[in-house]
Amino acid sequence: MKIDLTNKTVLITGGSRGIGESCVRMFAETGANVVFTYVQAKKKAESIISELDGNIKALKVDMESPEDIEESVKLTVKEFGSIDVLVHNAGIWNDGEIEKMDLDHWKKLLRINLDSTFLFTKAVVPYMKKKNWGRIILVTSTAGQRGEAYHSHYAASKGGMISFTKSMAVELGKYGITTNSVAPGWVDTDMNIEVFKDMNLVEKIKNDIPIGRIASADDIAGPILFLATGLANHINGEILNVNGGSVLCG
């Protein structure tokens, strides 16, 4: 079955690497208009665009800037006339032992991960309401469901996104807008490159995943694409665990 999203416009945050890049490539293959954001990787963004056919645009967006976020949505609508799908993937992950973490460190991560979720959603909803159709897909985490020692700020941000998903599902459903999350565990992307240099830790991580392997970015992007299609029309408020079952294993 070929997925065809021709004439749909998709806004993907954090699209220059990892899960976001895989989403850009997969959505581009469906014929959708794709706009993706990046923070610093302009050359990488340009390289991705040069490799793909179709209507693909990249925007530099500071995830801590409400003005940047609002402007990126306006530019997307100006270019393509609407926004049908929001894939909010952008975010950061770093260490945060509770006794060593200061309030600025805590707040910065929540601004980037959680505040941006609110701001992007708030900005796209009016355009989705006009069409009585929309798909909001957030990239959360196993950490948001079970917590994560030494990363409490990250877990709190993802837990907030999960609750936000459920809230929006109820609030926006009557407008033909569904809101769902995809929750990865460990994924083989640049975000984890330093962690994965420790091969003993890599083996331990694999052993903690019931299917015995770490996810690729494509493993996560595929289910995200699915949630944007007609195959998922009756899915709303779901936290789709795409982590090989690791969320079940503590």
Query: Which CATH number is 40's domain given?
Result: 3.40.50.720
Q: Specify if 1 maps to a domain.
A: no
Total tally of structural domains belonging to the chain: 1
| 195 found inside a domain | no
Separation of alpha carbons 46 and 48, rounded Å: 5
When pLDDT is cut at 50, 70 and 90, the band that residue 93 belongs to is very high
Backbone angles phi, psi at 124, to 5 degrees: -85, -25
**pLDDT value for 193:** 83
List, edge to edge, every strand of the sheet that includes 85-88.
Answer: 56-60, 33-38, 9-13, 85-88, 134-139, 177-184, 239-242
Domain assignment present for 229: yes
Residue 117: inside a domain: yes
| pTM for the whole structure | 0.96
3 state SS for 91-110: CCCCCECCCCCCHHHHHHHH
Look up the domain containing 100 and give its range: 9-187+216-248
Q: What mean pLDDT, rounded, does the chain reach?
A: 97
Q: What share of the chain is helix, strand, coil (3-state, %, to 5)?
A: 50, 15, 35
Do the domain assignments include residue 40? yes
Residue 28 located in a structural domain:
yes
Residue 228: inside a domain: yes
pLDDT digits (tens, 9 = 90+) for 29-64: 999 999 999 999 999 999 999 999 999 999 999 999
Chain segment 191-244, per-residue pLDDT in tens = 888 888 889 988 998 999 999 999 999 999 999 999 999 999 999 999 999 999
Does residue 39 sit in helix, strand or coil? coil
**Is residue 201 in some structural domain?**
no
Residue 175 falls in the annotated catalytic set: no
Instruction: Please identify which of the residues 38, 150, 154, 175 carries the catalytic annotation.
Output: 154
